[in-house]
Structure 1
Amino acid sequence: MPTEPNEPLDSPEALERRLRWIGATRYHSLHPFHKLLHGGKLNKGQVQAWALNRYYYQSTIPLKDAVVLSRFRDRQIRLEWRHRIEDHDGSFDSEGGIERWLQLTDGLGLDRAYVESTDGILAATRFAVDAYVHFVRDKTPLEAVASSLTELFAPNLHEERIAGMLQHYDFISPAVMTYFKRRLDQAPRDAEFALNYVMEHARTPAERQAVCGALTFKTDCLWVQQDALYHAYVTGMIPAGAFRPEAA
């Protein structure tokens, strides 16, 4: 486990090193639930539960990005940020990430209307995702941008997920993994812009600390969703009203 940098946040380079340390120690790729998922240790019902709950996060990302966009008077920043909404929502003539996620849940045998209703998701999933939207609404624009920096670490997770799930689960086909394949290109582009933005605009140690706090908050939002899945579908404490695989 990397040790926390002791250097003061007195430069953009020190900020980047601290951000990468946060990702190396707190990103949800480290969670035991992900280890089970990628290692082929879950049954189909547990994978269904993961995809169903993750849909709420995926479908909320364009709402979050619309809020971030609304925080800026700078037209160039809005032009740069708004493609993120289309990446997930799609356009009239092309599918986006939400549609590709629904192709995954279709392939897992989940009813699309049930997935889109979000009726069966865990309360912790809803609370964590909604908290993320509230964060980008209520914090500074700098912190709103910084909270997206988990995308720095996403490509490695997607590569691990694609390889692991295709290797271990006979109910997963390459056709339903297109969401992750597309994000291999999209996430680095988005992360580069956000990283350059915070390194340029976080000019004081206090502002750089706020950027680190925003990324930490985002990793917590992602981590708690894995905690809830593990508690419900590995430990077996499925709360009332939540998806039950045996009833799927």
Structure 2
Amino acid sequence: MTALDDRTGAPPDELVARLRAHARQYHSQHPFHLRMNQGALTPGEIRGWVANRFAYQEAIPVKDAAILSNCPDVAVRRRWIRRILDHDGTAADGPTSGGIEAWLRLGEACGLSRAEILDHRHVRPGVRFAVDAYVTFARTRPWVEAVASSLTELFAPDLMAERLAAFERYYTWIDPDGLQYFRNRLVQAPRDSEHALEIVTAHCRTPEQQDAAEAALTFKCDVLWAILDATEHAHPIDPADTAHPADAAHADDRAHP
């Protein structure tokens, strides 16, 4: 897919338009997400979403590492690695940096313990399958297709802005400091999608390559939709019902600020 040849597909602007049209398949349109933005979810449903979504958040740097392992372009690798650092944090920034840490703090702000988020006890089988499918796609498909699958980030800034406003308006029981992940993505997602779009438009020149890029984005939209399908049918999480042996070993985690 990465090789350029003489067969010409749609011009780059037409390809971009095709990719942007997938906004109608984005999980922002899922009934569960619409209810979230309307302030209609219970605290237990919010906790269920946060706990299940963590399985996806935790897999993002693994997915990006898989793309790097298949990418022969050093210039791309030098920029793409920023995504891993954004999620894992860096030693220089300390143990409380990165998107995974920010999501754990969101969970704590919602009333979950770190132990129950980290051990995936609330994660539904459908979420596991969807996340595993996405990581496998990044590992096994041509690297440009894997990059194209990340272009759901084209739609993420609007989603994050709406989600942040909804949480601040309707879910005031959540500590506002726990919403930092959403604020960070308002900056990171536009930067990341711009880079991914540069790669896809540069490497997808033939009709076959462009169709493959579009199919990859469709697949990613399906992954995110499937995660919400499974989450919607999960039982709401009541903190009184989350006792687990691992919690005793992580008592200090629950007190984390």
1:182-225 per-residue CA deviation (whole Å, 9 max, x = no partner) reads 11111100000000110111010110000000000000000011
| TM superposition shift of 1:119 | 2.3
- Residue 48 (structure 1) aligns with: 47
- Residue 239 (structure 1) aligns with: none
SS in 2 for 1:232: coil
1:102-136 per-residue CA deviation (whole Å, 9 max, x = no partner) reads 00001111110111111220001110011000001
Q: Percent identity?
A: 47
- Are the equivalent residues in 1 in contact too, given 2:48–2:234 (CA < 8 A)? no
Residue 9 to residue 36, structure 1, CA distance change in 2 (3 Å):
farther
Alignment TM-score, normalising by the size of structure 2: 0.87
- Residue 5 (structure 1) aligns with: none
- Residue 35 (structure 1) aligns with: 34
1:20-42 per-residue CA deviation (whole Å, 9 max, x = no partner) reads 1112x100000010011111111
- Match for 1:247 among 235, 241, 251? 241
SS in 2 for 1:10: coil
Number of residue pairs aligned between Structure 1 and Structure 2? 232
After superposition, residues 173-212 of structure 1 pair within 5 angstroms as 173-212=175-214
- Are the equivalent residues in 1 in contact too, given 2:111–2:239 (CA < 8 A)? no
Whole-angstrom CA distance in 2 between matches of 1:27 and 1:190: 17
- Match for 2:139 among 124, 137, 160? 137
SS in 2 for 1:162: helix
Whole-angstrom CA distance in 1 between matches of 2:234 and 2:75: 44
- Residue 127 (structure 1) aligns with: 129
Whole-angstrom CA distance in 1 between matches of 2:15 and 2:240: 47
After superposition, residues 139-158 of structure 1 pair within 5 angstroms as 139-158=141-160
SS in 1 for 2:39: coil
| TM superposition shift of 1:18 | 0.6
Whole-angstrom CA distance in 1 between matches of 2:12 and 2:100: 34
- Residue 80 (structure 2) aligns with: 81
Whole-angstrom CA distance in 2 between matches of 1:104 and 1:124: 22
- Residue 221 (structure 1) aligns with: 223
- Are the equivalent residues in 2 in contact too, given 1:58–1:98 (CA < 8 A)? yes
| TM superposition shift of 1:246 | 5.9
Residue segments in structure 1 that go unaligned for 5+ positions in a row: 1-7, 235-242
- Are the equivalent residues in 2 in contact too, given 1:46–1:245 (CA < 8 A)? no
Matched to 1:167, the amino acid is R
Please report the RMSD computed on the Cα atoms of aligned residues, expressed in angstroms.
1.5
Alignment TM-score, normalising by the size of structure 1: 0.90
Whole-angstrom CA distance in 2 between matches of 1:91 and 1:213: 34
- Residue 169 (structure 1) aligns with: 171
- Are the equivalent residues in 1 in contact too, given 2:67–2:146 (CA < 8 A)? yes
Matched to 1:114, the amino acid is E
After TM superposition, the runs of 4+ consecutive aligned structure 1 residues lying more than 4 A away are 243-246
Structure 1 stretch displaced more, 204-213 or 223-232:
223-232
SS in 1 for 2:233: helix
Matched to 1:75, the amino acid is V
Whole-angstrom CA distance in 2 between matches of 1:9 and 1:28: 28
Whole-angstrom CA distance in 2 between matches of 1:109 and 1:229: 18
- Residue 3 (structure 2) aligns with: none
| TM superposition shift of 1:245 | 6.1
After superposition, residues 59-138 of structure 1 pair within 5 angstroms as 59-94=58-93, 95-138=97-140
Residue segments in structure 2 that go unaligned for 5+ positions in a row: 1-7, 243-257
Whole-angstrom CA distance in 1 between matches of 2:62 and 2:225: 20
- Residue 21 (structure 1) aligns with: 21
Q: Whose RCO is larger (CA < 8 A, sep 6+)?
A: 2
Whole-angstrom CA distance in 2 between matches of 1:189 and 1:229: 29
